[in-house]
């Protein structure tokens, strides 16, 4: 690890612990590359493991091509999901505290649970064969970069923007014969305090959540070969809508268009 990467990791840790914005990593280190940023992310991963947290899966970000221009990021990024950030819901309702999050936003997503480790280059049937379940979930993303303005490298260094992941009822993948096509066609309606604010569809996510998963597996083995999907891991595949700012006291509801995936009802803690 270079001294610059170590210093960036320290800066991100300080911002995380204080729950405050920080200067852009790319401003601290002009010319910051994605390779550098993943080195920062690996330093952060090791730090969190050393203090007792466990990696329980992965998030893929910026898979929704309809919002790339809005955020200035034009390719997927990824990072760990932790035992301290993942909640597998017993039902469809939850209260969500925002403590420790900076500029949080909500993203409705499709989440996969793995029974076996997948390999890059698997065909669709083999990839589905690695899955234990599929579910609808919401990721709460946040950033220590002011105003949600950043480069792709900044987002990777900033923990891939991951804050929380809440996963709704899980549906066995084996009971879903047209999984790829059905998820690509699944619509999503997002409402706040009873008012619809956005709609999306699974195809927004690089052609569909299963397609996004396959593309990501190839990218991960190329760019972060030490990061692997293990049995029991979850992977969330990116937002079907835009990401929407959260505030205390709000009530958010999601409604997937496929009846096999229940919608969620989230109360933001005051």
Write the DSSP string, 42-59.
Answer: HHHHHHHHHTT--EEEEE
SS (H, E, C) 237-270: EEECCCCEECCCCCEEEEEECCCCCCCCEEEECC
pLDDT band at 1 (very low <50, low <70, confident <90, very high): very low
Residue 1: closest CA among 53, 33, 50, 38: 38
Q: Which residues contact 54 (CB under 8 A, 6 or more apart)?
A: 82, 83
Is the model's pLDDT at 93 over the cut of 90? yes
Token digits of residue 252: 């958010």
Q: What is the mean pLDDT of residues 212-229?
A: 94
Per-residue pLDDT of 169-193, as tens digits, reads 999 998 899 999 999 999 999 999 9
Averaged pLDDT score across all residues of the chain: 95
pLDDT at 262 over 80: yes
Sheet holding 251-256, edge to edge: 93-96, 265-268, 251-256, 187-192, 195-201
Span 226-256, pLDDT tens digits: 999 999 999 999 999 999 999 999 999 999 9
- Give the per-residue pLDDT at 74: 84
Overall average pLDDT of the 140-169 stretch: 96
Confidence of residue 2 (pLDDT cuts 50, 70, 90): low
- Mean pLDDT calculated for residue range 216-234: 95
Q: Is the pLDDT of residue 116 over 80?
A: yes
Confirm if 216 and 124 have CB atoms less than 8 A apart: no
Residue 70 has pLDDT above 80, yes or no: yes
């Amino acid at each position: 690890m270079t001294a610059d990467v170590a210093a960036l990791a320290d800066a991100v840790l300080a911002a995380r612990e204080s729950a405050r914005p920080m200067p852009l990593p790319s401003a601290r280190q002009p010319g910051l590359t994605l390779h550098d940023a993943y080195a920062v992310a690996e330093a952060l991963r090791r730090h969190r493991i050393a203090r007792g947290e466990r990696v329980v899966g992965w998030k893929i970000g910026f898979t929704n091509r309809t919002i790339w221009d809005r955020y200035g990021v034009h390719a997927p990024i990824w990072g760990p999901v932790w035992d301290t950030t993942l909640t597998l819901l017993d039902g469809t309702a939850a209260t969500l505290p925002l403590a420790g999050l900076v500029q949080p936003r909500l993203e409705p997503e499709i989440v996969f649970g793995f029974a076996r480790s997948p390999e890059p280059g698997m065909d669709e049937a083999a990839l589905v064969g690695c899955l234990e379940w599929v579910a609808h979930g919401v990721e709460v993303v946040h950033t220590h970069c002011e105003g949600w303005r950043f480069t792709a490298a900044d987002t990777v260094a900033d923990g891939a923007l991951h804050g929380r992941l809440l996963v709704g009822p899980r549906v066995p993948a084996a009971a879903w014969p047209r999984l790829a096509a059905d998820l690509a066609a699944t619509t999503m309606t997002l409402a706040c305090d009873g008012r619809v604010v956005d709609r999306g569809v699974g195809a927004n996510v690089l052609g569909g959540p299963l397609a996004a998963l396959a593309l990501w597996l190839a990218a991960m083995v190329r760019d972060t070969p030490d990061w692997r999907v293990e049995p029991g891991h979850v992977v969330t595949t990116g937002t079907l809508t835009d990401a929407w700012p959260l505030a205390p006291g709000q009530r958010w509801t999601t409604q997937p268009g496929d009846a096999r995936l229940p919608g969620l009802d989230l109360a933001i803690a005051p």
